[in-house]
Chains A and B, each alone.
Chain A
Amino acid sequence: MKLTLADYLVILVYFAFVIGVGFIIKRKIRSSNDFLSSDRHIPLWITSLAFISANLGAQEVLGMVASGAKYGIMTVHFYWVGAIFAMVFCGLFMMPFYYGSRARSVPEYLKLRFDEKTRGLNAVSFAVMTVFSSGISLYALAKLLEIILKWDFDVSIWVAASVVMIYTFLGGLTSAVYNEVLQFFLIVLGLSPLVIVALHDAGGWANIKAQLQPQFTHAWKYMGHADSNPMGLHFMSLIFGLGFAMSFGYWCTDFLVVQRAMIAKNINAAQRTPIVAALPKMLMPLIVVLPGVIAIAMMTPALQSKGYSIPAAETGGIDYTMTLPSLIAHYYPSGLLGVGVTALIASFMSGMAGNVTAFNSVFTFDIYQSYFVRNRSDRHYLWVGKIITVAGILFSIATAYIARSFNNINDFLQLVFSFVNGPLFATFLLGMFWKRTTGHGAFCGLLAGTAAAAITHGLTIAEGKGGWIAPLYPIRSGMGQAFIVAGVSWTANFITTIVVSLVTKPKPEEELRGLVFSLTPKQPTKHEWYLNPVLLSILLLAATILLNIIFF
């Protein structure tokens, strides 16, 4: 891939704009709340697009195109099973508690609902995870630019990190959120021409279906048995592991995305944020799954004459991660190549900035202010937030270099994150809907869920990974293993929390008003139909079910 002046110009314009947004927002930052939680004044369309953009990082864009090539249309399950239902649930049932409790973060909600130790456990694990995730994102960006553009690894790391640092240091969360929306449009509009031209080149969807094996173009038809589909999954594992434990755990409890809804102007807008975001999320497979399916179809004998192929990995076989960059290199001319590369850079920077802003909020509010320095002026916490932003970026850079030296650390960290994240939804589900749940129960449940995840991984083996205790249970795909680990850890947390709660003393009911469903007065909805979260949710779910039927 060789860039021309026009390509570099597009990249420079993008960098100038994201930094410019930081300078514009800087003038509005006067307090720690402005910097760390946007003081709850962001319009709905921005919070909604930021809600999905925070998830539209590199792993999403490159990873889903790669999965589209590897597993075919089944990858849409990450959207139509693993996202929409959880987003709707988050909006309808969880946002009223997050927003109504006036908590500034998800760990702070845990403090209000349970106790200090549960908040501390969640805050520390979340802070560590976000800063490492940010570093891995940075490493992946530099590595990709080194491979496809032959750019120097160190220069890429420092330039990308510096740009993110400038705009997050200047404008805090608002700046990150505004840039996420710009990045959303850039990714969607920058990759849309690629989908159109590649689909046309492949002879349309009908020809792709004719060339590929039917397992690659049906989402559900071959899921009755694990051996008959590319993911190696039974539909029950998919529904419980991905559709319930993993997706609800991520979309309903991960502060990185929930934070975007918590900065909405009012509770109705906060509720509608994940629901409105679910609409573009539902259509995202057109941009990030379809190109992968097209790419693998282009490698079939009938379409080989088009001259496209996914590059080979160093170890032999197909390097699926390179599917999107290779499509961009094949179809985009100069100028447009710059748009494609900028879209990739935007996805990495979006992921990194999202992690850094979530990290500085949780560190400042839930760790520094709670455990180290209380009752200082707001100006003090504003400056701590800014210093933590810089520290978070520097930690990310250090992580990126560690990841470069020890390549396996990426897999290891992702694994540890899944152990911590997997069981979390059980804690929130019980905490919000069962008033008897206690702080001791929640804390023990989280520990038990994480331990169960580690043990399950140690007893199962898939694609050479896991089985470090004893490889007793072989699973065909790593993805299937992840779903089973998530399901087991959720169940362990759920049962442990209930058992420990029943033998420990609950909080008095008056302390739980506004935090638990049964103790919170329901507000009658007096909105026009298009503002009604329930009606919007029903329409969305109907459309999602319809899509699943069409691509059955």
Chain B
Amino acid sequence: MAMKIAVLEDNLDRREAMRVCLKDRFSHFDLRFFAIPKEMTRFFDDHLSETIAISLDHDLDLQPEVGRLTDPGTGREVADYLAGHHPVCPVILHSTNSLAASGMELVLREAGWQTFRVVPFDDLAWIATDWFRAMRRAIVGPVKKAAENPF
């Protein structure tokens, strides 16, 4: 069964840039994007143990729902969910909201999750550079310790 890469990101341009980067190196993994935290945690209810890397944004745009806009919540909800589970893989935090990202980082680390921080810059330029490097570290790095760490 293919391991999953799960990304909380609602911006379509960012998603496409991430998809292109991951296809270049990690095409054999099952890539899942989410725009709504609840949908992501529902996915994790069934697939968390098959997940090899997670990337979370914090601030999310309002979502259209039956003629109105609803608040989807934030990446913090996913961080809180993960903090209630045994760590299975590293988590990348890719948010310009540094205060909120610090809060997510704290709650995840206290629960034993390994985290990487990536600060978006220059529109999409950060995705092929900082984010992709963090993603590679998140996926390739833990393999070394497979026999001895929780991943």
A interacts with B: no
